Amino acid sequence: MARFATVAYRLAVAAGLSGLFLAAAQAQTPKPEMRESCPGLIASDRPPVTPAAYLRTALAEGQVRITYSGHSTFLLESSKLVRIATDYNDFLRPPATLLPDIVTMNHAHSTHYTDRPDPDIKFVLRGWRDDGKPANHDISFGDVRVRSVSTNIRNWNGGTEYNGNSIFIFEMGKLCIAHLGHLHHTLTQQQLDEMGRIDVLLVPVDGAYTMDIDGMVEVVQSIRAPLMIPMHFFSTFTLRRFLDRIGRQYEVEYAEVPSTVVSKETLPTKPKFLVLPGH
């Protein structure tokens, strides 16, 4: 969208591309931590996920509603009505009638955080700390647990800001949902172990501001989630560019509405991308 493509934003990207620090993901057999930290993959005879009608119907136990607000912002809702907004910012927010209980943020750009969150939000989780140490969030509320895994980002000068981004993991409805945030590099085995087994992966696919397409494909392959949802694309062109590449290896399904209901029982038996309408 035009309002996101400021001159400063473009200059920052140009500087960042000159100082890439992509770390090679370690090709190791997943350790026990990665297999056990989150619920594992389901049996192979489960039916594929089906996009729900865009109506706010009650959720059964074990179900999670995922609604794409746009850019990197999703609204996640548990069966006990705990609401989470990812990369909560001043530009895109869930409707006022759906105030989140928990918001997560990253600060690579202003479209991923706000300094003015709604004061009625119970938990405001920033994916960075001013002292450069890992955010290390781990909270539980209702039927939801939220924790973070720190990664690095490029700073405005093209250098490295250590622990400047967090991958947030949402454990809800017997699912583990991971939001990669503004990820700038591939993942080490230690980071993969900290994440654990992931069921649903929210993936930035812009191919430039975060990572190049080949790097993000490597990340997707290392996590091996059964359901992946693209985010952080600025046009149909950037989305299709990524999907044309990823479509060589994964099934791609297009939803008609920006919301889907997922449970452990409805995860795909074969990994695939589900594209929710948005930008």
Q: Whole-angstrom Cα distance, residue 222 to residue 197?
A: 11
Quote the pLDDT of residue 14. Answer: 40
Q: Which of 243, 278, 255 is nearest to 1 (CA)?
A: 278
User: Which of 46-50, 157-161, 183-187 is least confident?
Assistant: 46-50
Average pLDDT over residues 30-43: 44
Residue 154: strand, helix, or coil:
strand
Where residue 155 falls among pLDDT bands split at 50, 70, 90? confident
Where residue 38 falls among pLDDT bands split at 50, 70, 90? low
User: Which of 25-39, 184-198, 222-236 is least confident?
Assistant: 25-39
DSSP string computed for 27-62 = --PPPHHHHHSS--PPPTTPPPP-PPPSS-PPPPTT
Tell me: pLDDT of 16 over 90: no
More confident residue, 267 or 18: 267
Question: What CATH fold (topology level) applies to the domain 2-22+53-275?
Answer: Metallo-beta-lactamase; Chain A (3.60.15)
User: Which of 2-11, 173-182, 237-246 is least confident?
Assistant: 2-11
pLDDT tens for 82-129 read: 999 999 988 878 787 889 999 999 876 666 668 889 999 999 999 889
Quote the pLDDT of residue 218. Answer: 95
The H or E element spanning position 246 is helix 236-246
Residue 92: strand, helix, or coil:
coil
Quote the pLDDT of residue 95. Answer: 80
Q: By CB neighbour count within 10 A (0-12 exposed, 13-18 middle, 19+ buried), where does 148 fall?
A: buried
Tokens of 118: 């709604």
Tell me: pLDDT of 150 over 90: yes
Quote the pLDDT of residue 241. Answer: 92
Average pLDDT over residues 117-144: 94
Q: Whole-angstrom Cα distance, residue 47 to residue 60?
A: 17
Quote the pLDDT of residue 212. Answer: 84
Quote the pLDDT of residue 11. Answer: 37
Q: By CB neighbour count within 10 A (0-12 exposed, 13-18 middle, 19+ buried), where does 30 fall?
A: middle
DSSP string computed for 111-124 = GG--S---TT-SEE
Q: Whole-angstrom Cα distance, residue 79 to residue 202?
A: 20
Is the distance from CB of 170 to CB of 193 less than 8 angstroms?
Answer: no
For 51-194, strand residue ranges (E) read 64-70, 73-77, 83-85, 102-105, 123-126, 138-141, 144-154, 160-172, 175-179
Tokens of 230: 């693209």
Cα–Cα distances (Å) from 259 to 74, 116, 190, in that order, read 9, 26, 32
pLDDT tens for 49-72 read: 444 444 567 899 999 999 999 888
Tell me: pLDDT of 163 over 70: yes
